Structure 1
Amino acid sequence: MNRFRTVIYLGVLLCGGCVKTASIPPADLTLSSFGLGPDNLFTAHFSSTVDLERAFNDYENARQLTPTLICSLNRDPEFSSEHSITIKAEGRVTASSQAEPNYKFSSDLIFYYTNPNGAQRDLNDYDAIKPLLASQASIPCKVRITAYGYEAYYTNTLFIPARIMIEQIFR
């Protein structure tokens, strides 16, 4: 009987690591504005076809963590939990308006650089960012939402014109 219990406990532990894919529909994001916000951080204002603050609750009846807007500054198109974007802007997403069909959100962005050893540091030296922005037409961004027991959910890509970012950062 002891061996039977061991097998059951092992099965429970293995299934505890299983993750599901959420059935949240793909969210389309539309940029409203980008500019200097509070605390000298740059703020992206955008709308979404899905309520990003309640997506897991609405579609999976699960509690989620705060959504995060992630922008790839070095042309890295891979947004996934298994991959770290080396140079990025990132910020928590907060609701501005919950009116359907386009929910409105904002995100105060902090710029980061990930060292080859995996350590992350702030990169709010905008002179270092300018060449990256100048070499691109637009910056790809996605919102990531996580919930226990589920794979991370990513929205469709929001493109912020690099020209707008450069104009606002170097005012």
Structure 2
Amino acid sequence: MKVIILLMLAMMCSACAKDHNIPSASLSYASVVRNTSKITYGISFGSDTNILDLYGQGMREGASSTIFNCALGADQDFSKGHSIQLTAIGAIDVDESNRAAGRFNYVSNVFLYETNDRGSLARNLSIKELNSLLSDKKNIPCKVVITAYGYKPYYSNTLNIPTADLLREINKP
């Protein structure tokens, strides 16, 4: 009987995530550059919301993860628990070099890689694979995804990165 009660309590609490009631941030694309490591690409963007202080507790406080995620292939399911197979993903930092008034400016140094079905293994995509994958696309959809304990995931509005800009950086000598 105790096991049944504990199981029921656990099931009830798992559906208790609070809604954060924060409107989705509108993001604006600024630029993309290949980093000197040649493994990551710096994507700069602006936001009308301070996404690194989303819960008003201080920079990076209150959130368990704050990521920038882009769908390189047809899979555009950004939902929590789903791993996009062909993705550009990275942490988000304040862009100190870009301080436009009235906007919050960020940079994410993303890895371009392929994951397996469960997202537990990843491998970097080659230049040849990236050219083949992206050659027919005009834009790459990206979102900021923030999770916090006790809250439903937060998703920004979609930011579309011009594929030509990313391909230019991918194909730099």
TM-score (norm 1): 0.84
Deviations 1:121-165 (A, max 9, x none): 122412211111111000000010010011111100010111111
Residue of structure 2 equivalent to 1:96: 95
What displacement does 1:26 show? Answer: 1.3
Corresponding residue for 2:72?
A: 73
8 Å contact kept, 1:75–1:139: no
Alignment of 1:30 onto 2:23: no
CA RMSD in angstroms, aligned pairs only? 2.5
More helix by share: 1
SS for the counterpart of 2:113 is strand
User: Which structure would you say has the larger Rg?
Assistant: 1
Give 1:26's aligned amino acid: S
Q: CA deviation at 1:11?
A: 6.5
Which blocks of at least 5 consecutive residues in structure 1 are unaligned?
A: none
Secondary structure of 1:76's aligned partner: coil
Q: Quote the offset at 1:120 in angstroms.
A: 2.4
3-state DSSP of counterpart to 2:167: helix
- 8 Å CA contact 2:85, 2:119 repeated in 1: no
Counterpart amino acid of residue 26 in structure 2:
D
The alignment covers a number of residue pairs equal to: 164
Between the aligned partners of 1:10 and 1:92, the Cα distance in structure 2 is: 36
Q: Distance in 2 between matches of 1:100 and 1:10?
A: 51
Identity fraction in percent: 29
Alpha-carbon contact 1:110-1:122 (below 8 Å) kept: no
What CA distance in whole angstroms lies between the structure 1 residues aligned with 2:26 and 2:88? 19
Q: Is the 8 A contact 2:83 2:118 kept in 1?
A: no
TM-superposition CA deviations, 1:31-62 (whole Å, max 9, x none): 1110112532210000001101011236xxx7
Q: For the Cα contact (< 8 Å) 2:69–2:87, is it kept in 1?
A: yes
Task: Give the CA deviation at 1:115.
Answer: 2.0
CA contact under 8 A between 2:83 and 2:117: conserved in structure 1? no
TM superposition outliers: structure 1 runs of 4+ over 6 Å: none
> What TM-score, normalized by structure 2, do the two folds share?
0.83
Q: Which residue of 2 aligns with 1:113?
A: 114
5+ residue gaps in structure 2?
none
Contact 2:69 2:89 in 1 (8 A): yes
1:164 aligns with 2:165: yes
